Structures are given as structure tokens and as C-alpha cells.
Amino acid sequence: MEIHAPIADLRSALRNRGRVAFVPTMGNLHAGHISLMRQARAHADTVVASIFVNRLQFGPGEDFDKYPRTFQADCEKLEAAGVDVLFAPTEADLYPEPQQYMLEPPEIQGLLEGEFRPGHFRGVATVVLKLFNCVQPQAALFGKKDYQQLMVIRNMVRQLALPIEVVGGETVRAEDGLALSSRNGYLSSAERAEAPRLRREISRICDALRHGERDYARLEREAAASLDSHGWATDYVAVRQQADLLPPATPDAPLVVVAASRLGATRLIDNQEV
């Protein structure tokens, strides 16, 4: 696997490499990332991954400084997954001057995650657009665990007419159902044992919806109360339309249940389509 840092080096390394599929990451790779790398191979001649912990998408008081940086182990996993090129820019490579042009997503950035992490999706959209400009892929893969992020990126690509196919990869889970996430590493062993409850509450809502239940507010309230009674601090549990993440407007709109809750100092998110 080739590793490139300055943008100019990456660009010359990617000349005449055929169709490129790109998987952007912030590192600390787990099986969810690796599954995206393997899927990328089906979309391209050359698979490019990036590792960059993007300061712009972290709010004040969030975990930018303590975000796990495990570069050597990540390289070994990428190599084993058959990734051809790793783009691993430093902050000075990607932001050689303060990033003043920012990409402002529309209303979707204020919903759900955006309500609790103001500015997060502006930072995500800005770095992803910049990474796309560096790599110039024909396909890009993102995990569905970050459901709203995937939607922000799909909308960005469509609205800006970027010639990139955006592919969503299914969430990879531990045996007990916990969605894999780099932040799971922050959990104590007691918290790790408790963590699958988030997925169970989401699944319970999905089952009720499949059985025709339509009192969304009650389902959301009960799930949040159940989490909180087991020591969580829930930001939201919400039944939303898959199409735009707004509250359901018609009884037959395809739905997704999304949730974010904090267990101790760790904020976990998860979702399930119905």
C-alpha cells in the first residue's frame, strides 16, 4: 500500500489509476471500516482510503484531542484489506491556512445530530468536499451508522453535481448488537455491557412500527425513558422519514429510527431502517 500526504503527491500517484473508489475515515479502524474497504474493490480499479481527524467537525468540549489515533495498526488493517493508496494528510497539508470557505448544508444540518452538535455537518461537508477534490474518486463509500452524515453527503453530491457515486455500507455490529464505532473504545467494561440497550430500544420501536403502531411520540418517549432509567442521558430517539429525516408526514412513508444517547462520557448513535 502506498501512503501519501501532501495533496500534490497524492494527485500524481493517482494519475492513470482507472476508476477510483474512496473511503474517507478518521482512523482507529474497525470491522465496519474494513467492510467498506472491501466493498470499495467492487466499484473500482484503485481503492483509496484516507485517515484524517478533522478538527472542523468537532465542537468545543468534544473529543477532538482524545480521539484515538492508531496510525500503525490502521495501516496494517488497510494493507490486509487490499487498499491500494492511503491518503494521510497532516493538518498543515489539508488546512495550510485557516479554512475560511466552508460548505453550509441546508436545514438538515440543524436536525437531530445537528441540534446537539451545532456546526458538525458544516465541518463534515467541508472536509469531505475537500477530500473529494484531492482524491477525485468516481465512487465513495460511507457507513450507514452515521445515517444523517450519509444523507448530508448524498445531498451535497447531488446538489453540486459532483460526478461521484455515493455508496452506503450496512452497519457492522458486535455479536450483542452494538454498532461498531471508534468511540466504543471509550466505554468502561460495565458501560460496554450496557451499551447494546441502545440497539435493543431502537429494534423494539421498529417492531412496533411493523405491527402498525403509529403513536411515534409515545414510542420515542418510552425508549428514551427506558435508556435514562438505566443510566443513559438521551439526546434523542426519533422516528423519521428515510427520505429527509423529517417527522413522518404520511402513514406509509419509509421510516428510520435514529437515536443518540450518552453512557457516562461516551456519546453513542445508532439507527435502523423499518
Taking the C-alpha atoms of residue 11 and residue 15, their distance in angstroms, rounded to an integer, is: 7
Please tell me whether residue 268 binds ligand PAF under the rule CB under 6 A.
no
CB contact set of 170 (below 8 Å; sequence gap of 6+): 35, 144
Please tell me whether residue 24 binds ligand PAF under the rule CB under 6 A.
yes
Please tell me whether residue 25 binds ligand PAF under the rule CB under 6 A.
yes
x-or-dash string of contact with ligand PAF, 109-148, rule CB under 6 A? ---------------x--xx-----------------x--
Please tell me whether residue 54 binds ligand PAF under the rule CB under 6 A.
yes
Minimum CB–partner distance for residue 195 and ligand PAF (Å): 19
- Phi-psi domain of 77 (left: phi exceeds 0; alpha: psi -120 through 50; beta: other): alpha
The residue among 140 and 239 lying less far from ligand PAF, judged by its C-beta, is: 140
Minimum CB–partner distance for residue 165 and ligand PAF (Å): 16
Taking the C-alpha atoms of residue 123 and residue 182, their distance in angstroms, rounded to an integer, is: 19
Please tell me whether residue 49 binds ligand PAF under the rule CB under 6 A.
no
The residue among 39 and 57 lying less far from ligand PAF, judged by its C-beta, is: 57
Taking the C-alpha atoms of residue 192 and residue 184, their distance in angstroms, rounded to an integer, is: 8
Under DSSP, is residue 240 helix (H, G, I), strand (E, B) or coil?
A: strand
The residue among 46 and 54 lying less far from ligand PAF, judged by its C-beta, is: 54
Q: How many positions of this chain bind ligand PAF (CB under 6 A)?
A: 10
Looking only at residues 147 through 166 of this chain, which bind ligand PAF when binding is defined by CB under 6 A? 149
Minimum CB–partner distance for residue 33 and ligand PAF (Å): 8
Taking the C-alpha atoms of residue 54 and residue 231, their distance in angstroms, rounded to an integer, is: 30
Q: Which stretch binds ligand PAF (CB under 6 A): 20-28, 72-80, 167-175, 186-194?
A: 20-28
Active site residue 33: yes
Is-contact 22 141, C-beta < 8 A? yes
CB contact set of 186 (below 8 Å; sequence gap of 6+): 63, 66, 265, 266
Please tell me whether residue 39 binds ligand PAF under the rule CB under 6 A.
no
Side-chain-side CA neighbours of residue 102 (13 Å): 14
Phi/psi of residue 66, nearest 5 degrees: -95, 0
Catalytic residues: 33
Binding site for ligand PAF (CB under 6 A): 24-26, 54, 57, 124, 127-128, 146, 149
